[in-house]
Amino acid sequence: MAKKEYVPLFETRQVKGRILFRCIAASILLGICFIIMYRIRYFPVGGKAERWTWIGLFLSELWFSFYWLLTTVCRWNAVIRIPFIHRLSQRFGKELPGIDIFVCTADPLLEPPSMVVNTVLSMMAYDYPPEKLSVYLSDDGGSNLTFYAMLEAANFSKTWLPFCKKF
């Protein structure tokens, strides 16, 4: 029995502009160091209120500096992954798993029905075998407006989805 050749499902590339990002991050780090040195060097000698204000400012600057450091470390060696969708069907063929997608909505004033309809139609237009894709809408508010919007979307989907599959 011949062994199948392994083909990767995606390609990993370095993000462009990493050197510029690293230069900007280094300049921000230098600025943070200057701010911390300034705070430590000029401790208030005045009253108790000034000291508590200084401590509060210093602690908040330390916290935001730590947060900035964490987010910058995550972006330091950024990559993008480009998927090869056609290889997925080549590798798995008809063995693709079934997918259930749930769209939840409750209030038609906070979540306009047009957004809910756009979400459902976009998911139905996925490039995935239609017999293995199920989209469910959960309307916890039981809104008539959302119900009638989905009825109109069902009629519209008869022309929209074939257009999406074609183009």
Q: At what angle do helices 113-124 and 144-166 cross, to 10 degrees?
A: 30
User: Would you say 140 is a known binding-site residue?
Assistant: yes
DSSP-H helix ranges across the chain: 18-41, 48-75, 85-92, 113-124, 144-166
Which residue is it, tokens 């069902």? 154
User: Would you say 131 is a known binding-site residue?
Assistant: no
Nearest to 81, CA basis, from 13, 31, 5:
13
Residues 6+ apart with CB under 8 A from 100: 134, 136
CB atoms within 10 A of CB 121: 18
Q: Which residues are annotated as a binding site?
A: 111, 140
Q: Which residues are annotated as a binding site for UDP-alpha-D-glucose?
A: 111, 140
